[in-house]
Amino acid sequence: MRGIIKYKSLLLLFLFILGVAGCVKDFEELNQNPFLPTAVVDGALFNEIISSLRLGHNRQLYLHNEKLYQATQLAALTAETFQNPSIGLEDVWGNYYRALANARELESRFENYTGDPEALVNVHAQLKIIMAYKTLHITDLFGDIPYFEAGKSYQDVSNLRPIFDDQESIYKSCIADLESAVEVLSAPTLPTTPAGEPYASFESFDTFFKNDFGKWIKFANGLQLRHLVRMVEVDPEYAKPRIGKLITEGASFIGKNEDIVMSPREQSWDNWGLNWSFREHNKIRMGSNLWNYMRSGGQVIDPRANIFFETNNEEEWKPYPQVPNNNTPQSGGEPYFQDKRDASYTNKGSGNIYSNLNYYLVRDNWDIPEIIMTYAEVRFLLAEVYLRGLGIAPEPSIADIRYQEGMFESMLFWQNIMQNSLIWINNVQVLTTGELFQAIDHPKYNFQAAASDEDRLDLIYAQRWIDAFRQPWEAFALVRRVNNRLPREGGPNELFRFKYPPSEKNNNADNWMQQANKMGGDENNVKIWWMP
């Protein structure tokens, strides 16, 4: 670790952390109501940004369960019930712009620091990485967003209603931030700057990686890989050389047992919104598409199926049709109702005629992590890079190895999820290494048995899709990027982006209207920049 002395500067942290924020409102209330000021150290402000990585409960109910599981066909929606996505959209939007305002405040403190600027390079690099993740995440959901001047209205009221910036510029700015952050954190560890000043450190306030620069570097490299591959179809001249540089220069990525997650137990927070979002929604069931893909010859070939799903009230495996007709019976029951099922696990409700998501996967609010990036995802991304020759010469044999690593680690990851839950009582058989490789070698999944490189690429995409089962936003990005190459029943996906939340339309009306006109309408079927 380069620095060991905590960088502190006491300034006022106003009520914006607690407010319901939109990018145009980030400091509107602040300027009008300067009550209850709170003095905090910079580390606490940084930790507030880390805490914002937790998924909001309204987001999970209104966007994940009502929209994304259906769009990605990782599960099935038995009835459209919560047709008010704006509640979830406000959750996502407010979360991001509160974090962005906090980041702008930290950046302002860094800029106004009167000591040696070199002392702040590490903490600034960590801030760049975490905000690049959050920024790329939200622009992938909406497309163009206010960014470069957003979150700054407390500094200059002219920024109270920022313009929308194009997604391409935002992407490339974030990639540049990740590149520079890696360069800084990769420098030799020194106790002081050349001028003799101790390097600033977030110390214990970094509850994400515990100030481990090596992990921050791996996260930044993984984010670059994820998003460069995402944009490679629309800007290969920009993306391919950077992908090639990551590979040829031996960039470090997360390894075994280094999956990046938000862990309630380890970080001391109660993920009560997880079960709430499924219990209140109650319309998500196992869909026929994923269920059929994980089976062959009438038999389940994928051990993750028993971890993702459970039987219906008759202890039978029964998927809900991904494309139902007027004669399809609806599903009732209460398979996610915590009080009943904690008292009696088998009490799923007499009307629960279809298999539901595994109760404990959406019930355990302490030991089920919220996933940000898995080791398996990185292996699948590398498999695609080597198979397609993105920035490097194609090497199908290495692609095969990375694909098998991805499958094995994904199956192991989900098996560990089950084993590490203290309340999970319907445990399925824990498979040995040899048994996991038998699943990988099944002809339906076997990389070498595929007839062509195009078929092998489809295998990579399908396995990345499965691994993202509890990251429906990542599966959503994959669906949009690869078009119709993923397993799918019925017509193609027609949800390309989410509409901007009502608060933006109401409070930033002129800029919202200009953006809507530019897109041809603020609609769900407008393609975002990196979509082919």
Is the pLDDT assigned to residue 401 strictly greater than 60? Answer: yes
- Residues 106 and 44: their CA atoms lie apart, in Å, by 11
Closest C-alpha to 10, from 33, 44, 36: 44
306 is in which domain, residue-wise? 273-362
Q: List the structure tokens of 473.
A: 């936003």
Cβ 354 vs Cβ 361: under 8 Å = no
Residue 355 lies in a domain: yes
- What pLDDT, in 10s, does the model give residues 43-95? 999 999 999 999 999 999 999 999 999 999 999 999 988 888 999 999 999 99
* CA–CA separation, 21 and 31 (whole Å): 14
Distance separating alpha carbons of residues 69 and 90, to the nearest angstrom: 19
Element of type H or E holding 483:
none
Tens of pLDDT, residue by residue over 411-438, are 999 999 999 999 999 878 899 999 999 9
Query: Cα 215 to the chain's mean position, in Å?
Result: 17
User: Is the pLDDT confidence value at 29 over 70?
Assistant: no
* This model's pTM is above 0.85: yes
Largest Cα span, the chain = 76
Q: Return the number of other C-beta atoms located less than 10 Å from residue 209's C-beta.
A: 19
Cβ proximity of 60 and 273 under 8 Å: yes
Give yes or no for residue 159 having a pLDDT over 80: no
In a domain, 322, yes or no: yes
Confidence of residue 32 (pLDDT cuts 50, 70, 90): very low
Instruction: Say how far apart CA 260 and CA 254 lie, in whole Å.
Output: 8
230-288 confidence digits (pLDDT tens): 999 999 999 999 999 999 999 999 999 999 999 999 999 999 999 999 999 999 999 99
Dist CA 177 CA 126 (whole Å): 10
- Distance (Å) of CA 362 to CA 58, 290, 319, 369, 521: 15, 18, 18, 10, 36
Q: What is the DSSP letter of 360?
A: G
State residue 158's pLDDT score: 67
Residue 278 lies in a domain: yes
Among residues 331, 354, 330, 352, the alpha carbon closest in space to that of 341 is found at 352
Give me the DSSP letters along 169-206. Answer: HHHHHHHHHHHHHHHHHTSPP-SB-TTSPBPEE-GGG-
Coil, helix or strand at residue 285: strand
d(CA 303, CA 280): 28
Distances (CA, A) of 97 to 48, 52, 331, 372: 13, 10, 38, 19
Residue 27 pLDDT exceeds 90: no
C-alpha 165/C-alpha 255 separation (Å) is: 35
Give the model's pLDDT for residue 81: 87
Tell me: the pLDDT tens digits for 97-123? 999 999 999 999 999 999 999 999 999
**Domain contains 445:** no
Q: Strands 200-201, 5-6: parallel, antiparallel or unpaired by DSSP? A: parallel
Query: Do the Cβ atoms of 19 and 33 come closer than 8 Å?
Result: no
Residue 424: the pLDDT is: 95
How far out from the chain centre does Cα 339 lie? Answer: 29
The whole-number pLDDT of residue 426 equals 80
Number of structural domains in the chain: 1
| Helix residue spans in 260-367 (DSSP H) | 264-267, 272-281, 288-293, 305-308, 338-343
Tell me whether residue 342 is in a domain. yes
Is there a domain that residue 75 lies in?
Answer: no
Evaluate whether residue 71 is within a structural domain. no
Which pair of tokens denotes residue 458? 């489809």
The arithmetic mean of pLDDT across residues 365-378, rounded, is: 98
Residue range 333-355: average pLDDT?
95
Per-residue model confidence (pLDDT) at position 39: 35
